[in-house]
C-alpha cells in the first residue's frame, strides 16, 4: 500500500496548539515520514466565525480536507474529529460534518482525595494527588488531557465531593499555586478546572463561627475566597458542592434553603464568570427501616423542585440520573423537566461502584442511551432537554494511575462514550462502542463484531445476575461489590425491598408512597399502570407477589431464577468469546481482560447462587426446570 502523505495549511491566527495536535496525531497514525510539499492530501485549518462556540465543520474533497471553527476549542475538536475519522479508515474526500456540542459543560468529576486515594476508584491511585499535595507526571497529565479533549470533555472537577482533610485547603494560598500549575497544563486542551469545596469552609478554613449563607461575614468570606482563587486561576469553571448530604453540613443545618446556600457562593463567583455546581443528592441517610412512609427516591424532588426559579443564573443543579444512587437500573430522576427555570446538569457515574467495579464488564453507553431516552412527558425525553435547561453533563471518573487508565481495559470504552454522548446524546451505544473497538483494536471484523456484541450485551447480562427488575441494592454494604440480598434491608440508608414469603418491592404509586406522582402525569401513568410499566422497572414501582405473571407468562419468581441462570451462562459466553479472539488481540490486553473475566464469572456465580437460594429459602418453590438451587 502506498504511503499516505499530507501537508498542513494553517490560516493566519490559527492556534498553534491545534496545528501541533493535528501534526502529531497524523504522525501517530501514519508514521513521521508523511509530510510532503506535493502531498496526496492538504489539510487546512481555518477560522469560520459564523460557526457556534466549540463547533467545527469538516469537509473533504479530492486531495483536500478542511477543518473550520469559530474558536480555538472548536478547531481542536475538529482536528480530533478528523483524526478519529482517519483512524476509523473513513474516506477523506467524502468527509462532511458540522458538529456542535449539545451540552456546553461536559464535565468529568474526579472523586480523588489529596492523600492519593480515590473514593469508589477501581483503577489505582489518583493521577493528581499524593500525600496531601498535588503530585503528578506532567506527561501523563497531558496524555490524559488529550484523551479527554479528543472526546469533547471540557471540564475536570479535580477532587472528591466529600471534601476532607487537606482537600479543604485547595482554595488557600497554600495549595492554589499547585492547582494553578495543573490548570496551566490542562488549559491548551480546552479543559477548565472545577474544585469541590466544603460548605462549612467559612468555619473550617475561615475560623468563622457559622457557615450560614445568609450571614454577611459568611458571604464576605466566600467573596474573598473567590477573589483569591481567581487570582490564581482566572478561567476556573467554578465550585462543586455536596451539601446537606450524607453527614456533610449544608444550608439546612442553618435553617436556610438550598437556594440560599447555592446563591451565596454563586454571587461570590459571579464577578469572575464562575459557576456553582450544586448537587441534589440530598436525602435522609438515617432512616428507620421500620418507617414505611419516608421513601428515599422522593427526597431530591421534595427538597428542590419548589425552589425552581430561585437559583441564580450561575448555579447549576447537578442531578444524578436516577432518584436513588447509580444503580444498574433506575427510572430517571423526576427533577428533570420539573424545574424549567433552573439550570441543571445530568450526573452519571463512570466509575463502576454498583456496576461491577471494573472487574465485571459493563458497557455504560447502553445504560446512558436509555437514560437519554427516558420520558419527561408523553412527548419529550431527557435528550430533548440537553442544551436547554440541562446545560451540563457530568460523569464521575473511572480513571486512576493504572497503566490502562481504567483498570479493566474494556472500561476505557465508558470514558470514551461519556465524552461522545455528552457532546451528542443522539449517538447510539452501538455507534460508540463500534468506534471505540475499532479505534482501540483495529477494524478486523472477526474481532470487532463479536467484541461489539459482547460489550453491548454486557449491561443486560450484569442486570440478569444481580438484583432483579429494578429493585437494586442487593449488594454488600459499604464496598458495594457482590451479593447481599438483605445487606441494606435493615439499614438507615432508605434502600429497602421488604421481601417476604409472598411478595417483594415497594408500591411507589399514589396508592403507595406516592413517588410516581412526582413525574409528569403522562409518565406517572406509564409507571403506575402495571400493564405499561417497563418490565425492567417493575419492582421499582410496584410490590408484587412471586406468582405475578410477567408478559412472557413466567412468574416473577421463575423470572428471577431464569435470569440468574442465564446471566452466568452469558458470562461463560464472554469468556469463550474472549478466548476465541486471543490471536487478534495484543497479548497484554488479552491477558488482563481474561483475568477480569475469570473474576466476573466467579462473581456472577456467587450472585446467581445467593439470589436464587435467598428466594428459594423464602418461598420453598423450586426452579421449574429443575436446575440446582443450593438449599
Does the protein bind a copy of itself through residue 99 (CB under 8 A)?
no
Residues that bind a copy of itself (rule: CB under 8 A) add up to a total of: 25
In the complex with a copy of itself, the residue whose CB is nearer, 498 or 576, is: 498
Q: Smallest distance, Å, CB 408 to a copy of itself?
A: 25
3-state SS assignment for residue 17: helix
Does the protein bind a copy of itself through residue 618 (CB under 8 A)?
yes
Does the protein bind a copy of itself through residue 454 (CB under 8 A)?
no
In the complex with a copy of itself, the residue whose CB is nearer, 88 or 477, is: 477
Euclidean distance between CA atoms 15 and 271, whole angstroms = 28
Q: Smallest distance, Å, CB 604 to a copy of itself?
A: 15
Residue 102, phi then psi, degrees to nearest 5: -70, -45
Task: Report the b/e string of 571-586 with b at 16+ CB within 10 A.
Answer: beebeeebeebeeebe
Q: Smallest distance, Å, CB 71 to a copy of itself?
A: 54
State the cell numbers at 285.
441517610
Is the CB of residue 390 less than 8 Å from the CB of residue 346?
A: yes
**Counting runs of H as helices and runs of E as strands, what totals does the chain give?**
17, 17
Q: What element of type H or E holds 191? A: none
In the complex with a copy of itself, the residue whose CB is nearer, 443 or 498, is: 498
From 97, 246, 288, 535, the catalytic residue: 246
In the block, which residue shows the cell 487508565?
405
How far is the CA of 203 from the CAs of 162, 200, 216, in angstroms?
16, 5, 13
In the complex with a copy of itself, the residue whose CB is nearer, 308 or 609, is: 609
State the cell numbers at 384.
430533548
In the complex with a copy of itself, the residue whose CB is nearer, 213 or 468, is: 468
Q: Smallest distance, Å, CB 474 to a copy of itself?
A: 11
In the complex with a copy of itself, the residue whose CB is nearer, 413 or 506, is: 506
Length of the chain equals 631
How buried is 259 (Cβ within 10 angstroms: 0-12 exposed, 13-18 middle, 19+ buried)?
Answer: buried
Q: Smallest distance, Å, CB 109 to a copy of itself?
A: 30
By CB under 8 A, which span of 91-99, 248-256, 588-596, 610-618 interacts with a copy of itself? 610-618
Residues numbered 468 to 527 that lie near a copy of itself (CB under 8 A) are 477, 483-486, 490, 498-502
Euclidean distance between CA atoms 611 and 557, whole angstroms = 11
Q: Is 246 one of the catalytic residues?
A: yes
Beta-strand relationship, 544-545 and 503-504: antiparallel
Q: Smallest distance, Å, CB 108 to a copy of itself?
A: 33
Euclidean distance between CA atoms 59 and 577, whole angstroms = 39
From 54, 109, 295, 325, the catalytic residue: 325
Residues numbered 244 to 303 that lie near a copy of itself (CB under 8 A) are 289-290, 292
Q: Which of 13, 620, 625, 626 binds a copy of itself (CB under 8 A)?
A: 620
What are the residue ranges of helices labelled H in 442-542?
445-465, 521-528, 538-541
Does the protein bind a copy of itself through residue 591 (CB under 8 A)?
no
State the cell numbers at 117.
486515594
Beta-strand relationship, 96-99 and 503-504: unpaired
Q: Smallest distance, Å, CB 613 to a copy of itself?
A: 8
Q: Is 325 one of the catalytic residues?
A: yes
Footprint on this chain of a copy of itself (rule: CB under 8 A): 289-290, 292, 477, 483-486, 490, 498-502, 606, 609-610, 613, 616-620, 630-631
Residues acting as catalytic residues: 246, 325, 353
Amino acid at each position: 500500500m502506498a504511503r499516505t502523505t499530507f501537508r498542513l495549511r494553517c490560516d493566519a491566527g490559527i492556534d498553534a496548539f491545534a496545528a501541533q495536535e493535528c501534526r502529531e496525531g497524523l504522525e501517530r497514525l501514519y508514521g513521521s515520514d508523511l509530510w510532503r510539499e506535493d502531498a496526496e492530501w492538504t489539510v487546512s485549518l481555518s477560522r469560520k466565525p459564523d460557526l457556534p462556540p466549540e463547533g467545527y465543520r469538516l469537509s473533504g474533497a479530492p486531495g483536500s480536507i478542511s477543518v473550520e471553527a469559530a474558536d480555538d476549542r472548536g478547531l481542536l475538536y475538529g482536528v480530533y474529529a478528523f483524526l478519529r475519522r482517519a483512524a476509523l479508515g473513513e474516506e477523506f474526500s467524502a468527509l462532511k460534518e458540522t458538529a456542535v456540542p449539545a451540552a456546553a459543560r461536559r464535565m468529568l468529576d474526579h472523586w480523588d482525595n489529596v492523600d492519593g486515594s480515590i473514593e469508589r476508584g477501581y483503577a489505582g491511585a489518583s493521577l493528581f494527588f499524593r500525600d496531601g499535595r498535588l503530585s503528578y507526571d506532567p506527561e501523563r497529565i497531558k496524555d490524559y488531557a488529550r484523551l479527554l479533549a479528543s472526546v469533547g470533555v471540557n471540564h475536570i472537577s479535580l477532587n472528591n465531593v466529600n471534601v476532607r482533610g487537606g482537600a479543604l485547603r485547595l482554595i488557600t494560598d497554600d495549595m492554589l499555586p499547585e492547582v494553578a500549575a495543573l490548570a496551566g497544563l490542562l488549559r491548551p486542551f480546552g479543559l477548565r478546572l472545577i474544585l469541590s469545596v466544603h460548605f462549612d469552609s467559612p468555619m473550617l478554613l475561615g475560623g468563622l463561627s457559622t457557615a450560614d449563607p445568609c450571614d454577611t461575614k459568611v458571604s464576605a468570606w466566600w467573596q474573598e475566597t473567590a477573589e483569591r482563587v481567581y487570582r490564581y486561576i482566572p478561567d476556573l469553571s467554578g465550585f462543586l458542592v455536596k451539601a446537606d448530604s450524607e453527614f456533610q453540613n449544608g444550608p439546612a443545618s442553618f435553617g436556610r434553603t438550598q437556594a440560599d446556600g447555592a446563591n451565596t457562593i454563586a454571587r461570590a463567583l459571579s464577578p469572575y464568570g464562575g459557576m456553582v455546581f450544586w448537587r441534589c443528592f440530598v436525602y435522609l441517610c438515617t432512616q428507620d427501616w421500620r418507617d414505611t412512609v419516608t421513601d428515599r427516591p422522593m427526597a431530591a424532588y421534595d427538597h428542590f423542585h419548589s425552589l425552581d426559579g430561585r437559583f441564580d443564573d450561575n448555579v447549576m443543579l447537578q442531578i444524578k440520573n436516577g432518584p436513588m444512587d447509580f444503580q444498574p437500573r433506575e427510572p430517571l430522576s423526576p427533577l428533570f423537566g420539573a424545574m424549567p427555570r433552573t439550570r441543571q446538569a445530568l450526573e452519571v457515574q463512570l466509575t463502576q461502584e454498583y456496576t461491577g467495579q471494573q472487574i465485571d464488564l459493563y458497557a455504560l453507553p447502553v445504560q446512558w442511551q436509555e437514560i437519554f431516552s427516558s420520558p419527561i412527558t408523553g412527548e419529550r425525553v431527557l435528550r430533548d432537554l440537553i442544551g436547554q435547561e440541562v446545560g451540563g453533563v457530568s460523569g464521575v471518573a473511572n480513571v486512576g494511575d493504572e497503566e490502562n487508565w481504567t483498570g479493566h481495559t474494556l472500561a476505557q470504552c465508558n470514558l470514551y462514550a461519556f465524552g461522545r454522548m455528552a457532546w451528542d446524546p443522539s449517538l447510539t451505544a452501538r455507534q460508540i462502542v463500534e468506534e471505540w473497538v475499532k479505534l482501540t483494536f483495529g477494524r478486523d471484523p472477526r474481532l470487532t463484531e463479536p467484541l461489539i456484541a459482547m460489550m453491548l450485551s454486557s449491561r443486560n447480562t450484569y442486570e440478569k445476575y444481580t438484583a432483579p427488575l429494578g429493585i437494586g441494592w442487593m449488594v454488600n454494604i459499604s464496598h458495594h461489590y457482590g451479593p447481599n440480598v438483605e445487606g441494606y434491608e435493615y439499614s438507615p440508608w432508605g434502600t429497602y425491598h421488604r421481601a417476604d414469603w409472598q411478595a417483594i418491592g415497594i408500591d411507589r404509586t399514589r396508592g403507595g408512597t406516592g413517588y410516581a406522582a412526582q413525574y409528569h402525569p403522562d409518565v406517572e401513568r406509564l409507571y403506575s399502570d402495571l400493564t405499561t410499566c417497563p418490565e425492567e422497572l417493575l419492582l421499582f414501582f410496584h410490590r408484587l407477589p412471586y406468582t405475578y405473571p410477567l408478559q412472557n407468562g413466567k412468574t416473577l419468581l421463575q423470572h428471577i431464577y431464569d435470569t440468574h441462570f442465564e446471566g452466568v451462562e452469558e458470562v461463560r459466553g464472554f469468556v469463550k468469546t474472549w478466548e476465541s479472539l486471543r490471536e487478534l488481540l495484543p497479548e497484554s490486553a488479552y491477558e488482563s481482560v481474561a483475568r477480569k473475566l475469570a473474576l466476573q464469572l466467579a462473581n456472577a456465580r456467587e450472585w446467581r447462587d445467593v439470589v436464587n437460594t435467598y428466594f428459594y429459602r423464602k418461598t420453598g418453590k423450586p426452579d421449574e426446570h429443575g436446575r440446582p438451587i443450593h438449599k
